[in-house]
Amino acid sequence: MGFKVVENYRVCGRDYLLTVEADRETVERIRAGQFGMVQVRSNLQFDPLLRRPLGIFNVEGNRVSFLYRVYGRGTELLTKTEPSEEVEVLMPLGNSIPEDREKYLFIAGGIGIGGLFLAARWFKEAGKEVVVLYGERSSDNLSGLPFLEKYGIETVVYTEDGSYGKKGLVTKELPEFKDYTWVACGPTPMLKAVKEIAEEEKAECFLSLDRRMACGVGACLGCTVKTTEGYKRCCVEGPIFKAEEVIF
């Protein structure tokens, strides 16, 4: 479905915010933790052919935003999309983060904040206790910070070089939050570490996984995840999985 682009600008580093104007039906179906398959090329071209899976970062009224990082040719092309143009997006896709807990710890590594921010915001607004641990390599890459501050979400920032917040990895103080429900999104090494610490601390933990996807609707089987119950499709059975069932 085509949606009009409202804005598409560089936040910092290699991170951009794409906002589209959606219809009410689409917005009402969105749940925290879901994603969209975004077309990164012109409708007049067929290269790159595949859409890119981007976490739904924020929803304000009928505007839906995606925070994305430029990694290759596809996302680089997406940065060229101008306001008033239309972009094809399949959304919302995937399952969502359970909403019935009272205390949530969101663990975001890098651009992983793009898949967690909306949940942190919505759950806080629903009166739940929410803390975000946000890790990056340096202060130059903290694209999610302005949005966390805007909505007054309690956040602890970690940078590997110590240029902002606490120096070190985002996982180093996790045991202090073992009575929270953890939800993590970020690089695979970080997710493996979170899973291990959650098992040690007996903390309930969910992982938001990022996989290369071709269709986003479960047809192509290109985004399978190895679990204790066999292989599952990240786009349909995920992207949210219980940490204990994921096999890295």
The CATH number of whichever domain residue 78 belongs to comes to: 2.40.30.10
Tell me the residue range of the domain where 30 lies. 2-93
- Which residue, of 93, 128, 159, is where some domain finishes? 93
Average pLDDT value over all residues in the chain: 95
Residues 142 and 204 placed together within one structural domain of the fold: yes
245 in a structural domain:
no
- pLDDT value, residue 46: 60
Q: What is the C-alpha to C-alpha distance for residues 235 and 223, in angstroms, rounded to an integer?
A: 7
Residues 134 and 200 placed together within one structural domain of the fold: yes
Has residue 59 got a pLDDT over 80? yes
Give residues with Cβ within 8 angstroms of 137, minimum separation 6: 110, 159, 160, 161
Residues 200 and 108 placed together within one structural domain of the fold: yes
Query: Within 13 Å and on the Cβ side, how many CA atoms surround 35?
Result: 32
Place of tokens 């999104």: 185
In our burial notation (b when 16+ CB lie closer than 10 A, e otherwise), range 54-75 reads bbbbbbeeeebbbbbbbeeebb
Has residue 45 got a pLDDT over 80? no
Residues 43 and 123 placed together within one structural domain of the fold: no
Count of CB atoms situated within 10 Å of the CB of 178: 15
Lowest mean pLDDT among 27-41, 58-72, 91-105, 210-224: 210-224
Has residue 28 got a pLDDT over 90? yes
Residues 81 and 119 placed together within one structural domain of the fold: no
Determine the average pLDDT of the residues in 79-107: 96
Count of CB atoms situated within 10 Å of the CB of 81: 19
Q: What H or E segment, with its residue span, contains residue 27?
A: helix 24-29
> Tokens in use for 113?
């904040």
User: Is 23:89 a contact under the CB 8 Å cutoff?
Assistant: no
Determine the average pLDDT of the residues in 184-213: 97
Q: What is the C-alpha to C-alpha distance for residues 70 and 88, in angstroms, rounded to an integer?
A: 18
* Residue 177 pLDDT class (50, 70, 90 cuts): very high
Place of tokens 């739904």: 56
For residue range 115-133, list pLDDT tens digits in order: 999 999 999 999 999 999 9
Three-state DSSP class for residue 96: coil
* Residue 42 pLDDT class (50, 70, 90 cuts): low
Has residue 44 got a pLDDT over 80? no
